[in-house]
């Protein structure tokens, strides 16, 4: 019997992690997608909603729902770009920073749990491999 395709395994892992993250973050009223968007904003003054969409590989229309939900929860703010009023800049609020810090601890626990049987060297190599594959996938003409 042939081994499962690597892409299939990555896809299964993605959905399993998303389900686990959604479950663990539910008490904070966040989802894996919302957490990821907030993480993208960490350490940055702001990003345009279009840039967030590109980084997450979804259409701006798809990302708009998530951004609006985060804004309604006072976790992010949107303001016009002073150089181009058609561009909305998104940034974390102090409340968003605080919640992100608390959720980071939950994500750390999930990582510890799922990698508990893997040694540090293999984890580091896995991360490097994922970064290289992600870079190649994101630079393909379809993206």
pTM: 0.87
How far from chain centre, in Å, is Cα 137?
Answer: 16
Domain assignment present for residue 123? The answer is: yes
Rg (CA), the chain: 17
Overall domain count for the chain? 1
**Domain enclosing residue 80, as ranges:** 16-138
Average pLDDT of the residues in 128-134:
94
Domain assignment present for residue 47? The answer is: yes
Domain assignment present for residue 65? The answer is: yes
Minimum mean pLDDT range among 31-35, 85-89, 95-99: 85-89
Count of beta carbons in the 10 Å neighbourhood of residue 67:
19
Domain assignment present for residue 115? The answer is: yes
pLDDT in tens, 28-68: 999 999 999 999 999 888 999 989 998 888 888 889 999 99
């Amino acid at each position: 019997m042939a081994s499962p395709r690597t892409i299939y395994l990555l896809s299964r892992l993605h959905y399993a992690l998303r389900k686990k993250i959604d479950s663990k973050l539910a008490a904070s009223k966040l989802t894996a997608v919302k957490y990821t968007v907030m993480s993208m904003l960490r350490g940055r003054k702001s990003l345009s909603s279009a840039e967030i969409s590109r980084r997450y590989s979804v259409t701006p229309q798809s990302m708009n729902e998530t951004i609006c939900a985060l804004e309604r929860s006072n976790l992010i703010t949107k303001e016009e770009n002073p150089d181009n009023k058609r561009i909305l800049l998104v940034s974390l609020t102090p409340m968003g920073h605080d919640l992100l810090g608390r959720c980071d601890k939950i994500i750390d626990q999930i990582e510890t749990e799922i990698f508990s049987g893997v040694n540090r060297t293999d984890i580091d190599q896995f991360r490097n491999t994922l970064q290289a594959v992600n870079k190649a996938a994101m630079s393909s003409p379809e993206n």
